[in-house]
Amino acid sequence: METVAGIFQARAEAEKAVQQLHSLGIPNDRIALLTPDMNDKRVERAVPIADTEEPGIGKAMGGAVGGALGVAGGTTLGAAAASLLVPGVGPVLAGGLLGAAILGAGGAVTGMAVGEALDEELVNGLPHDELYIYEDALRKGRSVVIAFVENDEAKDAARNVFAGAGAESIDAARENWWLGLRDDEALEYQARGGSFDADEANYRRGFETALERGSSGRADRRYAASAPPETSEAFRCGYERGQAYLESVREKYRR
C-alpha cells in the first residue's frame, strides 16, 4: 500500500480531486481530505500534544465525531468527519476515516469508533513523515487530499488526477517550504561558524527529523529536551532549529 498526496489552494479543487479518485474506483476508506475548518468553529475533538495524553484532554471541546462529509458532485466521503483542533495549525476538518487517523496518529483516534474501523495495514502505512508538510499547508489555508493505492498503476492514475485538478505535489511543497526557510537557516548556521553550502543536506535532515518527531499528535512532553538521534554538528544544529521552529509555530497558535 502506497500513499499519493496533493495540496490544493482551494477546498473546491480538493473536493473535485476526491470525486475523480472515486471515479478511479478508490474507495472511501482509502481517501482522506484535510481542510481548514473555516465555517464551523465548533471544534469537536482536539489532537493530543503527547502520546501519553488521553483523547479529549487539554484543548478538547466536546468529543463527538460528526457525520459523513459531502464533497463535490454529491459524493460522500467516508462514514465520519471530525473537526480537530491541531496544535500550531488550528481547526481542521478531517474527512473520511483516514482523515481523522492521519492527524490523530498519536492518540486522538484511539478512543474513536473510526479507529477500530481502519484496516491495520492502513494504520501502519499512515504518512507520519510528511505530517509537517500537511500541517504547513493547512496553516496557509490550503487543503490536502491523500489516497492509499494498491499498485504503481493506481499510483500513477491518482497522480494524474491531482495534477489535472491543479494540485501541488508533496515533493514540490516540501522544496518550497524549505526555500522559504533556507536563507534564515543559512545565516543561523554560519553565525555558529559552519559552512551551510557544505553542510546543508545534513542540517536540513536534522531540521526535518525534529519536525517528524514533533508533529501533532506524536510529540512527547519531553520532546523539547530530547537529544538528536545523530551527533554530527550540522545535524544537531538543524535538529535544534527544527525544534525551535515547531515551538514557534505552536506559540503563534496559542496567542
**Residues 123-143: tens digit of each pLDDT:** 556 666 788 898 889 989 999
User: What's residue 109's pLDDT?
Assistant: 42
User: What's residue 181's pLDDT?
Assistant: 95
User: What's residue 192's pLDDT?
Assistant: 93
Distance CA 229, CA 231 (A): 7
User: What's residue 228's pLDDT?
Assistant: 67
CB-side exposure of 207: number of CA atoms within 13 Å? 21
User: What's residue 116's pLDDT?
Assistant: 47
Contact 203, 238 (CB under 8 A): yes
Closest CA to 33 of 137, 143, 158, 166: 143
User: What's residue 198's pLDDT?
Assistant: 96
User: What's residue 7's pLDDT?
Assistant: 96
User: What's residue 6's pLDDT?
Assistant: 94
Distances in Å between the alpha carbon of 70 and those of 6, 12, 22, 73?
Answer: 19, 12, 13, 9
Residue ranges in the chain whose pLDDT is less than 70: 38-82, 96-97, 100, 104-128, 215-228, 252-255
